């Protein structure tokens, strides 16, 4: 065995020893990340959609709008983080859409919850009109 091969074997052993000492299980990390992504979709969005439908069915329109605003805010945080790390324009488009959706849903929530029903009444209340 040559000296270079021997050095490579020693280096591989050092790397393996360091990896083992960190007690980091990549399989477990992958499973955790995958579980979080699935939980995000199933736990948050699907349950949120069910709650929105139920809120509408029982006449709680303001609750449905509040849930939609919450979902938009959650998506905003998720998409902004992706944009921040990747700098892909696609995520910035998502961020803008989420901001728009969040604001729209928030104003709709306030409209139903406070029974404004007209934007000019809202603007008068804020003394903008």
The predicted-structure confidence for 70-128, as pLDDT tens digits, reads as follows 999 999 998 999 899 998 999 999 999 999 999 999 988 988 888 766 666 666 777 65
As to burial, measured by CB atoms within 10 angstroms (0-12 exposed, 13-18 middle, 19+ buried), residue 69 is buried
Radius of gyration of the chain, Cα coordinates, nearest whole angstrom: 25
Does residue 78 share a domain with residue 107?
yes
In this prediction, residue 23 carries a pLDDT of 64
Q: Decide which of 50, 69, 87 is a domain's last residue.
A: 50
Consecutive H or E run containing 53: helix 47-57
Does residue 65 share a domain with residue 128?
yes
Q: Is there a domain that residue 125 lies in?
A: yes
Q: Is there a domain that residue 3 lies in?
A: yes
Whole-prediction pTM: 0.65
Does residue 129 share a domain with residue 68?
yes
Q: Is there a domain that residue 55 lies in?
A: no
Domain that holds residue 77: 60-129
């Amino acid at each position: 065995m040559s000296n270079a091969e021997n050095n490579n074997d020693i280096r591989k052993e050092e790397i393996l020893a360091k990896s083992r000492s960190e007690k980091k299980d990549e399989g477990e990390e992958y499973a955790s990340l995958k579980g979080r992504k699935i939980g995000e979709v199933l736990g948050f969005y699907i349950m949120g959609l069910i709650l929105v439908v139920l809120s509408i069915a029982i006449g709680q329109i303001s609750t449905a709008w509040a849930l939609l605003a919450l979902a938009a805010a959650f998506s905003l945080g998720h998409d902004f983080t992706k944009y921040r790390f990747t700098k892909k324009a696609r995520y910035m488009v998502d961020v803008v859409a989420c901001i728009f959706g969040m604001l729209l849903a928030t104003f709709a929530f306030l409209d139903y919850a406070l029974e404004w029903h007209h934007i000019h009444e809202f603007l008068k209340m804020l003394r903008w009109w």
